[in-house]
Structure formats: C-alpha cells, structure tokens
Amino acid sequence: MATCGEVLVKLLEAYGVEHVFGIPGVHTIELYRGLAGSSIRHITPRHEQGAGFMADGYARSSGKPGVCFIITGPGMTNIATAMGQAYADSIPMLVISSVQSRSQLGGGRGKLHELPNQGALVAGVAAFSHTLMSAAELPGVLARAFALFQAARPRPVHIEIPLDVLVENADALLNSPPMTLARPGPSVAAIEQMSERLMHARRPLILAGGGAIDAAPALTLLAERLGAPVALTINAKGMLPTAHPLLIGSVQSLAATRALVAEADVVLAIGTELAETDYDVFFGGGFEIPGALLRIDIDSDQTVRNYLPTLALVADARLAAEALLAALSQRSLAPRETAWGAARAQRLRLDVDAQWDAPTRAQTHFIHCVFDVLPDAVCVGDSTQPVYTGNFTFNPAQPRRWFNSATGYGTLGYALPAAVGAWLGRRAAGKAGGPVVCLIGDGGLQFTLAELASAVEARTPIIVLLWNNQGYGEIKKYMLNRGIEPVGVDIYTPDLVGVARALGCAAESVADEAQLRTALATAAGRQGPSVIEIDQHQWQQSLGL
C-alpha cells in the first residue's frame, strides 16, 4: 500500500522537484517514508525559518519552486517570516505541513503542536492555504499550486495534511499526471494600443521589475528599438548588461532619476509593483509619473495599484515584450529628442556617480573587488550597509546574480540560508560553475548563525562575506539622522570567526583589498563553506577614504 505521504513524494518528483528543505518531526515522519527512496535530496536547516529562506534562494537562482516539509505548530510559526519575504517578492514556494487529525482540527484540546487554525495564521503570507481532507484531493491541490507557479503571479502556497490523511491508502493516485500550463499571452488589441503610444513617443522610458526577469533579451531589444532609458528594480538587476548605454540602474529613489522619469512622455512599466521599496527607499514620497503610463503585469490587480495606468495589459512579461518588439519592428517611429536615449542615460549616471560619499564609494569598491575576483558569482544579500549601497551602485552582468532581503519585506538573517538554497538552485537549473556569495552584517548573521552548520552538512561551498560594524550600523545611522539617541543598536558581537570555525567552516578576517582578493580566490577553491570577515572601519581606512 502506498500512503498519501508516499504518493505526495512521487507526485513532487513528477513535477520536477529535486530538493526539499525541512526538519523531520514526530508529525512529519510519514512524509519521510516516501522521501528516503526517492530521487529528491533533503536538506536539513537548523530552524524552519532557515528552511523557508533556503527555498526562497533556491527559487530565485533556479526559477523553480522551492519546497519545504514543515512540522505542525511551531514549524509553521517559524517559517512565517520566510514566507512573508517570498510573498513580498513574488517567489514560488511550496510549504507542505502536517496538522492535527481531522477530528481534532480546531479542537483546543492541548494536543502536541496545536494551533487554532494554521491556515488563518499564514493567510497573509500565502497565495492560498489548503487543508487536505482526503488523500483523493492531493493531485488537484498540487495541480492548483503548480498552476499558480507556472502561469500566474508566483507566491508561497501552503498545503497542510492532517495526520490521519497522511497514512491513508493512496494507491489509486500513484499514476496521477502532473499538470503543465502555458503562461498567458498578450491581447492583440492591447499590444496595438501600446505600440501606437510607444511609436509616437519622443521621450520613452522603461521601468522593469522582477516580474519581467525572464523577458531580459526581448526587453533589451525593445529598449534599443525605442531608444528608451531603462530603470531596473533590485530584483530585476542584470536584465540589461552592466555597460549598456541605456541602463540607468536602480536609482529611482534619487532626485536626478525622478527628474528623468518626469521628463518622459511615455513610461512602460513591466513586471513591477511601482512600490515604495523600489522607488522611494528614503520614504520621503515624491516619485511621480506625469507621462502616459503603460503597465504590463501578470497580476490584474497589480496593474492598477500605486499608479493608475493610461493603458494596462495582463500578460506574461516575456510574451508581452516579444509582442511589442514585433509590432514596433514593423513601424516607423517618431524621431526621439536629440538629448534623449543613451545621451540622457549617460548624463544621469554621471550626475548620480558624482554624489556618492566616502562610505558609499568604499562599499562600492568592496563589491567590485568581489566580482572582479569572482566574475561569475551570485551575490545573496542581507539587510546590511554594503547591500544597501550595492542596490544603488552595482549592476551585475546577468539576471539572478544579485538579490537580497534589503527591499520588500526587509527581514534580517535571510542571506546565509538563502545562499545555501541559491547554490543548490543553480546546480538544479544546470548552472554549474560560479560561486555563491552571501553578503551579511554581524547583526544579521546572528539571526541565522546556526545555518553555517547546515551549509557544512549540505556540502555547499558558499562564501560568507561578513561585514562587521559591531552592531546594527544602518539603524544607528538612521537614529542619529533623526536626532534620536541610539538605543539597542550597539550590541555585543562575539568572535564570529571563531564561531564559524567551531561550526566547521574555514574562516578568517581581512583588513585590506589585497587580503580580500587572496581570501576570495582561496575560498573559491574549497569544497565547503568559507567565512571572510571585513571590519567596516579598517576597510574604509585602507582605501584612504
């Protein structure tokens, strides 16, 4: 007899799942009965929040859903933060948990790991939560989850399976086929209307977000056809090559970029929420789009949030960009203004580069050193000073090479477990080669420090760049700028190099650029994880800034 838990694993294999992140517990052992003999590799974090962050990093680097097996009760409360980060950034994550037996649901009898309602708990951080009331429902609810991942706005999905359903006979479901959906294509009429607007634009501009990340080739050609400067959100970084003359970067929160947006007569916003954490990171307001706004998004609701469009199109970003490119290739475009396009983008970049202060220049130099030594690296960032800086000043050569938790939900401790997931995800997507770098502060690292042991156990040779400023440096600066006496930010920082060594990592501190370059080159050749600590003040002094 094949139980529901065993059939679940078989169906996940059929959907192409190769990794599952989770911590076995008394209420999930029936899931592991099927897992042991499967092709799916299980990764054990040291906390369920780490499982969620690993799944998130896996999905961002591979483009495939990250899958978690989570225990009832505390496992679900622990993973809720990671689900929140994934929800905010539209990351596909499948969280499968156990729950009390059907007759005990909501009973309030003090059962082990009991919550009144797990589905209600995660309702705000999941596209949907479904309680499996019989094994027969399993193929249908999995099809619903993967349909969302494949053809809609991807976000976490939670499926909970009662303990008695987990052991139900599910032999009849063993041959259930996986469902595959095509992403929605664009309306011909809408493409015609948008093409007409763009054809007559004299100062067109493109704003692209993480929802358009797979549209990079078509979007680059479209920008070139229009002569349109392109601004990218943090999750869209790399969609245009680093030195592309039309690339503005991710500086939409700065006054110079806002002035450029205000000059545009037609703005194409594709795969972006137009939200505060991408366009107003200083929280002062003032980002305006006075020109005609054309919005393309796979989520119909999102096309009218934050900024009302002149025209809107609900479609897959890649298909829409390709359709616009094809339509505009057949037309004669109105002449662009002489100082627009690449000339205007270059002037903006020069204006922006001239305003950076010494700490920003020091942190930018640090990031460029990392990618100079490790040109194929993926950088997974936390909420820490050099990540905030890199979000403004660094432009990777390709998509899925720079992502972090410093925007959107904005959690701490994300980068370490997410880097483990990203390394596994790159291999699952056939992107072997190129290291994965975790860029994290000493404060953030202490949130998920134990996941260094997970990295050792999983044999993931990530490189942890520990930016040490002895506390919560960015929040301290924010307090001082607001005239608030700093409280709670100058925390005790242990010997993190020593702790890393105790957990099985290679670890060292570096003081200057030469030492950093040597340490990075050495770490790239290791089979296991490395920790490289950089003291913020020493680094800045070594550069004479």
The answer to pTM > 0.85 is yes
CATH topology of domain 188-346: Rossmann fold (3.40.50)
Q: DSSP letter at 29?
A: H
Contacts of 82 (CB under 8 A, 6+ apart): 48, 49, 50, 51, 52, 53, 55, 56, 93, 411, 414
DSSP letter string, 121-186: HTGGGSSEEEE--SGGGHHHHHHHHHHHHHHS----EEEEEEHHHHTSB-GGGTTPPPP--PPPPP
**251 alpha-carbon distance from chain centroid:** 18
Instruction: Round to whole Å and give the CA distance between 377 and 262.
Output: 35
Asked if residues 281 and 257 have their Cβ atoms less than 8 Å apart, the reply is no
CATH superfamily of 358-542: Thiamin diphosphate (ThDP)-binding fold, Pyr/PP domains (3.40.50.970)
Asked if residues 494 and 455 have their Cβ atoms less than 8 Å apart, the reply is no
Q: Which two tokens stand for residue 162?
A: 């009662």
**4-173: CATH class:** alpha beta
Contacts of 275 (CB under 8 A, 6+ apart): 306
Q: How many C-beta atoms lie closer than 10 Å to residue 54's C-beta? A: 34
In the chain, ranges of CATH 3.40.50.1220 domains: 188-346
Instruction: Give pLDDT, residue 470.
Output: 85
**286 alpha-carbon distance from chain centroid:** 26
Going residue by residue through the chain, which has 545 residues, state the pLDDT in tens, using 9 for 90 and above: 899 999 999 999 999 999 999 999 988 899 999 898 899 999 999 999 999 999 999 999 999 999 999 999 999 999 999 999 999 999 999 999 988 888 877 778 877 777 889 999 999 999 999 999 999 999 999 999 999 999 999 999 999 999 999 999 989 998 899 989 999 999 999 999 999 999 999 999 999 999 999 999 999 999 999 999 999 999 999 999 999 999 999 999 999 999 999 999 999 999 999 999 889 887 778 899 999 999 999 999 999 999 999 999 999 999 999 999 999 998 899 888 889 999 999 999 999 999 999 999 999 999 999 999 999 999 999 999 999 999 999 999 999 999 999 988 999 999 999 999 999 999 887 776 689 999 999 999 999 999 999 999 999 999 999 999 888 888 888 899 999 999 999 899 999 999 999 999 999 999 999 999 999 999 999 999 999 999 998 998 888 87
Instruction: Round to whole Å and give the CA distance between 125 and 81.
Output: 8
In the chain, ranges of CATH 3.40.50.970 domains: 4-173, 358-542
Is 187 exposed, middle or buried (CB count within 10 Å of its CB: 0-12, 13-18, 19+)?
A: middle
533 membership: H or E segment, kind and range: strand 530-535
| Region class of 365: left (phi > 0), else alpha (psi between -120 and 50), else beta | alpha
Contacts of 375 (CB under 8 A, 6+ apart): 397
